[in-house]
Amino acid sequence: MSNYKVYKWGPLLVKTKVKDDFRLGLLERSKHLDVDFRKRLAGHIDNEKLFTKQEDLDYFMYNIQQYLEIYFNEAWPNFFNKYKKPKEVKLLSLWVNFMRPGECNPPHIHGDDLSFVLYLDVPETIAEESKHVINNDIGTPGGIRFMYGADGLKDTLSYATEQPVTGDLFLFPSHLTHFVAPFKSDCTRISMSGNFAFNRGGDN
């Protein structure tokens, strides 16, 4: 798989697209979640649910491996040559966000080593709404912005803004600040996210 994008700035941020059968499988599984995860998250979103069933977690880990390899192949030795490539990647948390009009995710970071955002369903009305925005200083409606370092320095790339579409996957270090701007369209934007921890075998 070679269709992916790497952002040339500070942290390693990779964007790619997942296979549709994987996305649809996760979307179907997300409809049956019932564990409220809002207290552990930064988002101002009313419906955020945690994946807890082992069969769902196994399904995710089996299918995400090829996309993690994209990240790791780019990371070593280009970015993380100081560290050994992890012997194991452990999934620590996995949840889904059902985002509605007016809701948002303020600037925040995640814990652990590696995080991701995967877009299960982004209605086209959100992208159409973004075409008519006059001021996008906080990002386009429903868009995601990643921020690193000092903002506004001359000749310095300090943020990356994306208007995600269905199937997009972003992989990034958990300490990378990011946020999601609200939208007005009467629809539900479904994304999922999670965190991984690295096992490097005791050596840096």
Specify the 3-state DSSP secondary structure of 20: helix
**Extended strands (E) in 37-113:** 47-50, 88-99, 105-108
Starting at the edge strand that comes first in sequence, how are the strands of the sheet with 144-147 ordered?
105-108, 177-180, 144-147, 159-162
Look over the chain and give the mean of its residue pLDDT values, rounded to a whole number: 89
136 pLDDT more than 80? no
Full-prediction pTM beyond 0.75?
yes
- What is the Rg, in whole angstroms, of the alpha carbon atoms belonging to the chain? 17
> Rounded mean pLDDT of 154-162?
77
The C-alpha atoms of residue 198 and residue 191 are separated, in whole angstroms, by 23
**How confident is the model at residue 196, as a pLDDT?**
96
Per-residue pLDDT tens for 19-49? 999 999 999 999 999 999 999 999 999 999 9
Find all residues with CB under 8 Å of 5, minimum gap 6, and list them: 14, 15, 16
Domains, in order of start, for the chain? 5-199 (2.60.120.620)
CB–CB of 200/130 below 8 Å? no
55 pLDDT more than 60? yes
CB–CB of 126/101 below 8 Å? no
